Amino acid sequence: MIFAGSCTLLGSFFLPETYAPVLLARKAKRLRRANPEKNMDLYAESERVSWAPMAVLERTIFRPFKMLLVEPILLLATIYLSVAYGVIYASTCSFPLQPVIRVSDDPGLDAQCSRQFP
């Protein structure tokens, strides 16, 4: 764990950036700084994204639901996976992981071991 943390710190300082939107934004900023009059309208696509609350809400909430309603294969895959996960959840919750510990012959004195999830 210490080795992984030290590699992450060293990598974040010494490895070059390779993510294309970041590189394009840096290049556009550098070109605008070098010649402001000629490159006044030069912007990277990531710099043109609106961060207004309604625009962020549209991208994060409305667009996935619109996609779910427009694409039938996505709707069918979503229904199938939700049913499959529901069956798996119901089957794992309905059966205990550990059996009942017999304390005595009286059924009221049996101790049910419950699931211990973190």
Do residues 59 and 113 share a domain? yes
Do residues 82 and 33 share a domain? no
What domain range is 79 assigned to? 50-118
What letter represents residue 44's amino acid? A
Query: Mind listing the pLDDT tens digit for each residue in 84-115?
Result: 999 988 887 776 665 555 555 555 554 554 45
Q: Which is nearest to 46 in space by CA: 63, 27, 21, 29?
A: 21
Do residues 57 and 110 share a domain? yes
Query: Helix count (H) and strand count (E) of the chain?
Result: 5, 0
Is the pTM value of this prediction over 0.85? no
- What's the rounded Cα separation, in Å, for the pair 57 and 50? 11
Query: Mind listing the pLDDT tens digit for each residue in 32-79?
Result: 999 988 988 888 888 888 889 999 999 999 999 999 999 999 999 999
By the 8 A CB rule, do 28 and 44 touch? yes
